[in-house]
Amino acid sequence: MSRRIIPLADVSALPDISGVAASPSGLLTDTLARPLRDLRISVTDRCNFRCVYCMPREVFDKDYQFLPHAALLSFEEIERLARVFVAHGVEKIRLTGGEPLLRKNIEFLIERLALLRTPEGRPLDLTLTTNGSLLARKARSLKDAGLSRVTVSLDALDDALFRRMNDADFAVADVLDGIETAQAAGLDPIKVNMVVKRGTNDQEIVPMARHFKGSGAVLRFIEYMDVGASNGWNMSEVLPSAQVIERIGAHFPLEPLEAHTAAETAQRWAYRDGGGEIGVISSVTRAFCDSCTRARLSTEGKLYLCLFAVAGHDLRGLIRSGASDEDVATAIARIWEARGDRYSQLRGSASAPSREDARRVEMSYIGG
């Protein structure tokens, strides 16, 4: 069966900038008292993988309409918006996609973002999430451009299984090569993200733990999520993180670690023998909406307040209509102050957006 989805959803009017201007104070909070600290920017909706849980090939096929180049935010526009977000309190920016390393000259954008400073004068924590396929080629230039760290996605060590999961015939060896090159270039500590889909790759949990134990890379296991409207998500395919910890602990004893910050998404565990740490991101079984300080900027400049939002706020329209930086700051303040999203806490309840809602945005469009 061929499913067709329309990934674009927006709030049709331009964001409200009427009334008194809201100057950035770095102290913005939403209706649940959550500050604005993290910004994820999707720099392309395209990808060279077709991961079955993210961009299934039957939907993202040769007829799929990706965004035309003119619809993408330019590097100048991204930098301009990022500067205003930073004035409002953002301290960490993650570039994502789609596959961010497919965006031509991404290093030029990184160079610009690396120059931004928080109101206290600190540089940003500037990171990028990648499928790793182009990392061996790009690690050095990314580091030289000013990238702080990198997160690499890898769902299996078994090559045949990995090729089936990325559905584009990419080899595990290329991703491992990318991770090593990135470590050598100083883009560390590297995080490696594995999405666990029960019945598909859960047998890879222990081999992955064994491989990365003691390597300096921090392996993190992510519960398979019901993002978007195209992956046919089913709760029976979610393996709760508690079971991931149990399985690894049976081979390598673990002990819990304190969170670095209140907004940290992963629960951290250390190998008792000093072999480093792992993390679990329990987006489904243990929602962390209470501490969610993340805003997301889509490839075409729409601001989303939650990974599961059905509508975005058109910041690109606002800046292309000639708005000043002050107007943009006012719009962002109004939008964030009205935010009450907490989808994962409401999942399954009557107030959560429906799974059937075909307007739910895709991960490849909004960024992970």
Could you list the residues known to form a binding site for S-adenosyl-L-methionine, using ranges.
53, 98, 153, 225
Q: Which residue is it, tokens 């331009």?
A: 14
Instruction: Output the smallest distance, CB 302 to ligand SF4, in A.
Output: 15
Residues in contact with ligand SAM, shown as a per-residue x/- string from 321 to 340 under the rule CB under 6 A: --------------------
> CA quadruple 185, 186, 187, 188: dihedral positive or negative?
positive
Is 165 within 8 Å of 51 (Cβ atoms)?
A: yes
Number of residues that bind ligand SF4 (CB under 6 A): 25
Instruction: Output the smallest distance, CB 42 to ligand SAM, in A.
Output: 8
Q: Which of 87, 145, 165, 225 binds ligand SAM (CB under 6 A)?
A: 225
Which of 91-99, 185-193, 242-250, 319-327 is the region at the interface with ligand SF4 (rule: CB under 6 A)? 91-99
> CA quadruple 77, 292, 125, 133: dihedral positive or negative?
negative
Distance CA 353, CA 183 (A): 40
Task: List the Cα angle 336/333/110 in 5-degree steps.
Answer: 85
> CA quadruple 303, 333, 337, 36: dihedral positive or negative?
positive
Q: Which of 130, 133, 230, 330 binds ligand SAM (CB under 6 A)?
A: 130
Residues in contact with ligand SF4, shown as a per-residue x/- string from 333 to 352 under the rule CB under 6 A: --------xxxx--------
282 is a site residue for ligand SAM (CB under 6 A): no
Is 254 within 8 Å of 271 (Cβ atoms)?
A: yes
51 is a site residue for ligand SF4 (CB under 6 A): yes
Q: Where does residue 194 rank: exposed (0-12), middle (13-18), buried (19+ CB within 10 A)?
A: buried
Q: Tell me, what amino acid is at 261?
A: T
Question: Residues annotated as binding site for [4Fe-4S] cluster?
Answer: 47, 51, 54, 289, 292, 306
Q: Which of 148, 193, 200, 230 binds ligand SAM (CB under 6 A)?
A: 193
Residues in contact with ligand SAM, shown as a per-residue x/- string from 131 to 170 under the rule CB under 6 A: x---------------------x-----------------
Q: In a 3-state reduction of DSSP, which class is residue 220?
A: strand
The two beta strands, 92-96 and 125-130, are parallel
Residue 149: CA count within 13 A, CB half-sphere = 14
Which of 138-146, 236-244, 284-292, 315-323 is the region at the interface with ligand SF4 (rule: CB under 6 A)? 284-292
Distance CA 368, CA 362 (A): 9
Which of 228, 317 has the CB closer to ligand SAM? Answer: 228
Please report, to the nearest 10 degrees, the dihedral formed by the alpha carbons of residues 80, 84, 86, 88 taken in order: -170
- Where do contacts with ligand SF4 occur on this chain (CB under 6 A)? 47, 49-51, 54-55, 97-99, 131, 153, 287-289, 292, 294, 306-308, 341-344, 363-364
- Where do contacts with ligand SAM occur on this chain (CB under 6 A)? 47, 53-54, 96-97, 99, 129-131, 153, 193, 195, 222, 224-225, 227, 231, 363-364, 368
